[in-house]
Chain A
Amino acid sequence: MGTLSKYRLLILCSGLLFVAIGLIVAAPVKWVVLWTDALIFTLMVVIIGTAWMVRSRPYLLAPWRRVVRNRIAAGALVVLLSYVVIGLLDSIHFRELLPAQEGSHQQHYSSNTLSLLDKLLTPIRIQEEKSYSAPFAIQLFSKESLQGDDGTTVRDYPRLQYGGAHLADISQRKEDITNTLLLASSYALATWVVISLLVVWMLARRHGQSYRQQFKQLIRGEMEMPWCTLLLMFLVILLLLFISMMLGVKYHIFGTDKVGQDVFYQTLKSIRTGLVIGTLTTLVMLPFAVVLGVAAGYFRGWVDDVIQYIYTTLNSIPGVLLIAATVLIMQAYIAGNPELFETMEERADARLFFLCLILGITSWTGLCRLLRGEALKLRELDYVQAAHAFGVPQNQVLSRHIFPNVLHIVLISLVLDFSGLVLAEAVLSYVGIGVDPTMHSWGNMINGARLEMAREPMVWWSLMAAFVFMFILVLAANLFADAVRDAFDPRAVR
């Protein structure tokens, strides 16, 4: 390693940046940055910046190493990362250029905002049926009057427009699915083998070992990092990716909803909503919580009194009512300023943003109180007192001594809050004060599924899809949060 590799990295990064900028300028689209997009990118920058900082400070890096060494946490991390990738793809928005019109040179863009994910999922996105259809069905879920060949009306299940349209008959379905499954699995396996070999090769090079030796070590789990687990998880993800994509264009693998939209597509779109609520909520209020919490603990006196008053007051208002009121206000604001929100996506996004904000307001008080307590403790410590005695300015004391030492609390609460917030979104949408009803979210899916459950035969797939995707995310987040807490909190029971 050394300076050379650092430069190489820098050159690589700037090269990538240039390519990205080139693409952005050259692409025949109008890029749209929604409010939450901007925040997500800010969050990414913050995370990358922090990672950069942590890299060069071994005492900060150590707990992270502990986290990643934990097998379960590493597996959970892979799952979380794949969610994040989907979420990020879904956060790059643009409006496509409309075909030019004769005799007019003006360029116009579609008023439909799409994301990169939409573009990638195009066949799945636009293959809309008329109404409900079950997973892998080739017929609609309910009977309709059909015109027979001889002109008579028959009541039967009509064939789907897209799902399994390439099949002549239902009897071929099983074979078709099996074939596609096998094909997709073999693709996935092949990709995985290539990537795994690459990884082993890289590791071998770095550790200066022979290829075979490295391989043995990896299999036996003698490495510092749980590479074996990571690669296996990666295989699972690859398998799922290939299978879902290859089957997804032929069938509706999670069925379709009431207006015939693919449920799998909806579930994937819901990921971004869940992630946004889970992360941005804490991020938005983080500055307030940190500044106020530290200030209260550090300065004490009237500052402390005022800050305590503010958060006790906010805390004592039942959260749901506060959220309800604010969501209503925000609706009034959006309705009053239609020129700010041109498209439906922007309106829905603004509502999501406000929801994050208000959820933040109801949840930052806990963090604030923790930080206040920690700051109270820290200011009495010897080295802080010593810094005072030497006449170090207060802002320096705060930024050098207090702030870095409360960072782990911020981090732990961020990770711990995540899963709770994802779950809260569902409940709030049920109460009718969650995200916009036009937005894809698990809460909205569950809410809609309540009515579907009453049908006979039951329409269960929307609920199931939302359940599975949400469960996996929250489970991974919980497992990861446990590992993070254990790694950072020295008192934690292992």
Chain B
Amino acid sequence: MIAYIIRRLLYAVPILIGVNILTFWLFFVVNTPDDMAHMQLGMKHVTEEAVDNWKAERGYDRPLFYNEQQDGMSTLTDTIFFDNSLRLFVFDFGQSDDGRDIGYDISERMWPSLALAIPTLIIGLLVNLTFAMLMAFFRGSYVDLSGVILCVVLMSISGLFYIIGGQWLVSKVLHLVPISGYQPGVDAWKFLILPVVIGVIGGIGSGSRWYRTIFLEEISRDYVRTARAKGLGERLVLFRHVLRNALVPILTGVVVVIPLLFMGSLVMESFFGIPGLGSYTIDAINKQDFAIVRSMVFLGSVLYIIGLILTDISYTLVDPRIRLN
């Protein structure tokens, strides 16, 4: 097991290097050091000298990948790429282009993101499971049919409508919660309750429908029939057998996304003014702050890979027949 994890982690290294080279190249094509300097120095009275100075201060006056003026190893190490990328591997994100410590910002902004994402995930999971169980229980009846139709309808509505509509109704018309903003600590709940509810409602459609399919697949299996033949009540069959077995694919599906919860939700956070990592990323894109974007890409890749590994491990935990090798 441990050997497996180590091997997977080692396998992650070339992937992360690939991610780094790709994003580095992408962003330096659009956003040359000159552009960054102009972006940071503002619009009024900027001289070329100031631009050169700015670049020199941050080491952006060197070549991107290959430094011809150096000898030996330093042809590769005395470059912007090497300087900016290598330290990412020890999670030293360095400074953003406007001079803030990215690592500190990430550690600050992580909490609001999690405070939004974790309740949305858990409540969403519970609601979807309940709804799906209900449909599975009444399969074939009007409850099931109307449930499925409701799901398809909910799925067909763009998430933006839920957000725009919800914010308008609950905050503006009914005055129930603050329109946007955030307070750290216990007070956070009144800012989070609406985005969480909207997030849950937005996910019901696809989530419940998927879980229903899994339940139905499970119900059609032989052991369920056997259990029923033994005279077990429908409720017992459903809860004791079907739910437990259906949880395997459901939970493994959930495990993949858990690490990515850190990244926050781009749209939700910027609509509700929650200072999480999602809005951090959007701001960075808009400001073309290359250092932040690249850190977030790296973080996202790492979390994705962790998610994959966790999934594999969770498979072995719930299903002992699967072995990691």
Contacts and interface: CB of A to CB of B under 8 A. Distances in A.
A–B direct contact (CB < 8 Å): yes
Interface of A: 309, 312-313, 315-318, 320-322, 324-326, 328-329, 331-332, 419, 423, 426-427, 430-433, 442, 446, 449-450, 453, 463, 467, 470-471, 474-475, 478-479, 482, 493
10 contacts: A313-B15, A313-B19, A316-B301, A318-B281, A321-B297, A332-B29, A432-B286, A463-B164, A474-B157, A475-B153
A391 B238 CA distance: 52
A244 B304 CA distance: 49
A319 to B, nearest CB: 9
By DSSP majority rule, is chain A's interface helix, strand, loop, or mixed? Answer: helix
**Which 9 A/B pairs are nearest by Cβ-Cβ distance?**
A318-B300, A316-B301, A328-B30, A474-B156, A325-B26, A313-B18, A475-B156, A316-B304, A493-B216
B281 A320 contact: yes
B232 interface: no
Nearest to B212: A493
Contact of B19 (A317, A329, A467): A317
Contacts of A431: 266-267, 282, 285
A180 B139 CA distance: 46
A479 B155 CA distance: 11
Given A313-B18, A316-B19, A332 B168 contact: no
Contacts of A324: 285, 293
A478 B15 contact: no
B29 A329 contact: yes
B161 interface: yes
B305 interface: yes
Interface string B126-157: 00000000000000000000000000110111
Contacts of B159: 423, 427
Contact of A478 (B156, B216, B297, B304): B156
Interface in B235-293: 263, 266-267, 281-282, 285-286, 288, 293
B189 interface: no
- Helix, strand, loop or mixed for chain B's interface? helix
Contacts of B23: 317, 321-322, 325
Contacts of A432: 285-286
Contacts of A427: 158-160, 267
Interface of B: 14-15, 18-19, 22-23, 26-27, 29-31, 152-153, 155-161, 164, 168, 213, 216-217, 220, 263, 266-267, 281-282, 285-286, 288, 293, 296-297, 300-301, 304-305
B82 to A, nearest CB: 19
Nearest to A474: B156
Contacts of B164: 446, 449-450, 453, 463
A426 B301 contact: no
Contacts of A450: 164
A259 to B, nearest CB: 22
A63 B158 CA distance: 30
B29 to A, nearest CB: 5
B297 A317 contact: yes
A168 to B, nearest CB: 38
A325 B29 CA distance: 9
B134 to A, nearest CB: 17
Contacts of A329: 26, 29-30
B30 A309 contact: no
Contacts of A471: 156-157
A467 B159 CA distance: 11
A290 to B, nearest CB: 23
B293 A321 contact: yes
Contact of A312 (B15, B160, B296): B15
B216 A430 contact: no
Contact of B31 (A309, A328, A482): A328
A467 B15 contact: no
Contacts of A322: 23, 26
Contacts of B27: 325
Contacts of B304: 315-316, 318
A332 to B, nearest CB: 6
Nearest to A423: B158
A318 B267 contact: no
A117 B308 CA distance: 48
Given A316-B305, A431-B267, A475 B152 contact: yes
A419 B158 CA distance: 10
Contacts of B297: 317-318, 321
Nearest to B215: A493
A328 B25 CA distance: 13
Given A309-B14, A316-B301, A423-B159, 13 more contacts: A317-B297, A318-B263, A318-B281, A318-B296, A322-B23, A322-B26, A328-B31, A329-B26, A433-B285, A450-B164, A467-B157, A467-B161, A478-B155
